[in-house]
Amino acid sequence: MTPTHLLYLHGFRSSPRSFKAQRLQAWLAEHRPAVHWWCPQLPPSPRAAMALVQAGIRDWPAGSSAVVGSSLGGYYATWVAQTTGWPAVLLNPAVDPALDLAAYVGELTAFHAPEERFFFRAEYVAQLREFEVPTIAHPERLFAVIAKGDEVLDWREMSTRYAGASQRLLDGSDHALSDFDDHLPHILRFLQLCD
């Protein structure tokens, strides 16, 4: 079913100003303006981030909603998909962010607004474990775009984690998916937003 509601979850230190989020939002505004789009600014606390998301999607229709997540947002999107039954698109999704982000505890800057600072606290690493999905119940509802050229995350870990899902495995590209426009048609087809 074509989604009437689409949630986008950005990555660590990112924001709704993410290039991928803005590209997808612009496409929807032009081609599917009736689709309800929401890309919230996620707080650094995973528990607070998922509380915000849960509150925001509480009244969304179960049968016509979907989620897209990038990097850490892909980790969160996996949890959202597992708990809601929604289809999900995962863009270079983080597999074990508690391990990856332990080194980032402290004061950080926001990627799209370097003048904005925030604290990533030690307890947030433990909170990430609360949203781990040990076994993906319906991998057929997931579509992962994975770049072998990702300079941040290991594409092999991503590919193994989402082994039962549809995958678009890229020989090059990068963590940000700078060539996102090349993959947008595949994402839209998976979400049944275009032919």
Q: Is residue 58 part of a domain?
A: yes
Q: Is residue 164 part of a domain?
A: yes
Q: Is residue 82 part of a domain?
A: yes
* pTM, entire model: 0.95
Exposure of 156 in the CB half-sphere (CA atoms within 13 A):
0
Give the pLDDT band (50/70/90) at residue 11.
very high
Tally the domains of the chain: 1
Q: Which domain holds residue 130?
A: 5-190
pLDDT (tens digit per residue) in 79-117 = 999 999 999 999 999 999 999 999 989 988 877 777 888
Q: Is residue 195 part of a domain?
A: no
Q: Which two tokens stand for residue 68?
A: 């897209």
* CA–CA gap between residue 34 and residue 23 (Å, rounded): 17
Q: Is residue 148 part of a domain?
A: yes
Residues pairing with 70 in the sheet:
91
What is the CATH classification number for the domain harbouring 165? 3.40.50.1820
User: 130 pLDDT exceeds 90?
Assistant: yes
